[in-house]
Amino acid sequence: MRKIIPYGKQHITETDIDAVIEVLKGDFLTQGPKIEEFEKAFNNYIGSSYSIAVTNGTAALHLCAMALYVQPGDKVIVPPLSFSATANCIRYCGGDVVFSDIDPETLLLDIKLVRNLLSSSPEGTFKGIIPVDFGGRPIQMDEFRELADEFGLWIIEDACHAPGAFYRDRTGKRQNSGNGAFADLAIFSFHPVKHIACGEGGMITTNNRELYERILKLRTHGITRDPSLFKNSILEAGGDASDSNYPGWYMEMQELGYNYRLTDFQAALGKSQLERANEGILRRLEIASKYNEAFINNKNIEIIFNKAQSEFRNAHHLYIIQLKNRLGLYNFLRENDIFAQIHYFPIHLMPYYKNLGYKLGDMPFAEEYYSKCISLPIYPSLTEEEQLYVIDKINSFVND
């Protein structure tokens, strides 16, 4: 029986296991010191001022929408090519998702189409934009910042696919995906197939102190223990009016928040994984380069998305090819124990969003891409032998 080759897979080392065991033997399973250690290490890796560890990428998106005060009826621009959580976070707050199509060359939100949408709408129609670093390819956030400022919008950068990716801004300066230089908030995911695996987990990054403090509170039920932020008087808190200090046990729930905290053993695993994140990126780039060499001259396969360029680094969460008989290849690979995947069915065509008024034909570039896309195995522990097997099977199918 052949070994199954998935499209993505976590890579757990003995060092990772030891880090988790250390926490399990310690005093804290949650709300302990490993959370802050992980957050600080992530700040250093991404280059942001603040990081907030949370339960998963979806929770991170939801907290960002709450922190930016998304209200019922607020309209937010989202690409149709992403995991559905990118759009759902706006719906959680009662806001309205407005999809804008992708650039078929980059598969990223097309800034020209976003500008057309904003320019053709009454002033104040939209509140924000959620660009996505799809597949690991970083979006040009400085350009979106200029556009957002022109129309008075906030930005949440969905960088779940792109820790370790970077691009050059208009001044030529390197900007890491999710570093907070241009987005108000950015989010990451630590699902097992992502670059950094915690089982589940997520991170929010920002350079805005006010947003950071608000999210910290929303992450833990809307509760604060910081006396400088208390709103009740000492008497209401059960203290002595002659005493300037609140009781040591006192806390306040100041607004409706959630329990979106990460555990300490997940944070320990994440921090351990983060320590070899650059090694993982380099391995992904090697795998992508080998795929490029194998397919670049094959007229039956499109690899536009994957071509290496000097002005940015694709973190290669995904390696995507496009071809006409996508379904045939998908089934053929499964028959040969290669579990490729499709990323993604366009969000606007999901039944929930179709019920809100979207239909086939609304996002032609995303729909055309979806009809031909397939994600091939790419993860650091993929062996050379396994990759050559994948390449051989794909070539045998498309050249038959």
- CATH number for the domain harbouring residue 338: 3.90.1150.10
Bridge partners, residue 263, by sequence: 30
Q: Which domain holds residue 180?
A: 5-222+256-274
Residues 261 and 300 in one domain: no
Residue 102 shares a structural domain with residue 119 = yes
Q: Supply the DSSP string of 258-312, one letter for each residue.
A: -B-PPBHHHHHHHHHHHTTHHHHHHHHHHHHHHHHHHHTT-TT-B-GGG--BTTE
Residues 60 and 172 in one domain: yes
pLDDT, tens digit, for every residue of 154-172? 999 999 999 999 999 999 9
From 299, 305, 318, select the one nearest 162 (Cα to Cα): 318
In whole numbers, what is the pLDDT of the chain averaged over residues?
96
CA 272 to chain centroid: 20
**d(Cα 251, Cα 264) in Å, to the nearest integer?**
22
Section 75-97 average pLDDT:
98
Residue 134 maps to a domain: yes
Domain boundary among 248, 274, 300: 274
Which residue do the tokens 């005060």 mark?
Answer: 69
Same structural domain, 376 and 387? yes
- The whole-number average pLDDT for the span 371-396 is 97
Mark whether 98 and 144 lie in a shared domain.
Answer: yes
CA distance 155 to 83: 18
What is the reported pLDDT for 311?
82
Q: What global pTM score does this model have?
A: 0.96
Does residue 141 share a domain with residue 15? yes
pLDDT in tens, 221-278: 999 999 988 999 888 888 887 777 898 899 999 999 999 999 999 999 999 999 999 9
Strand-pairing partners, residue 320, are 375
What mean pLDDT comes out for the span 175-195? 97
Residue 252: other Cβ atoms inside 10 A: 19
Q: Judge if 390 and 363 occupy the same domain.
A: yes
pLDDT in tens, 325-368: 999 999 999 999 999 999 999 999 999 999 999 999 999 999 99
- Among 34, 194, 271, 393, the one annotated catalytic: 194
State whether 36 and 55 are in the same domain: yes
163 plus 92 within the same structural domain? yes
Identify the three-state secondary structure at position 327: helix
d(CA 356, CA 51): 34
- Tally of structural domains, the chain: 2
Contact of 259 with 220, CB cutoff 8 Å = yes
Query: In terms of C-beta distances under 8 Å and separation of at least 24 residues, what long-range contacts does 167-171 make, across chains too?
Result: 167/138, 167/139, 167/140, 167/141, 167/311, 167/312, 167/313, 168/311, 168/312, 169/140, 169/141, 169/142, 170/142, 170/143
Please indicate, yes or no, whether residues 267 and 282 belong to a single structural domain of this protein: no
Please indicate, yes or no, if residue 99 is contained in any of the structural domains: yes
Per-residue pLDDT tens digits for 285-315: 999 999 999 999 999 999 977 776 778 999 9
**259 phi and psi, to 5 degrees?**
-95, 90
List, in sequence order, every residue forming a beta bridge with 259; answer none if it has no partner.
220
Residues in the chain: 400
How many CB atoms within 10 Å of residue 346?
24
For residue 235, tell me if it sits in a domain.
Answer: no
Tokens of 208: 């805005």
Is 372 annotated in the active site?
Answer: no
Q: Are 212 and 329 in a shared domain?
A: no
Q: Cis peptide before 319, with omega less than 30 degrees from 0?
A: no
Q: What is the pLDDT of residue 370?
A: 98
DSSP per residue, 69-112: T--TT-EEEE-SSS-THHHHHHHHTT-EEEE-PBPTTT-SB-HH
Q: How confident is the model at residue 1 (pLDDT cuts 50, 70, 90)?
A: low
If asked whether residues 344 and 382 sit together in one domain, one would say yes
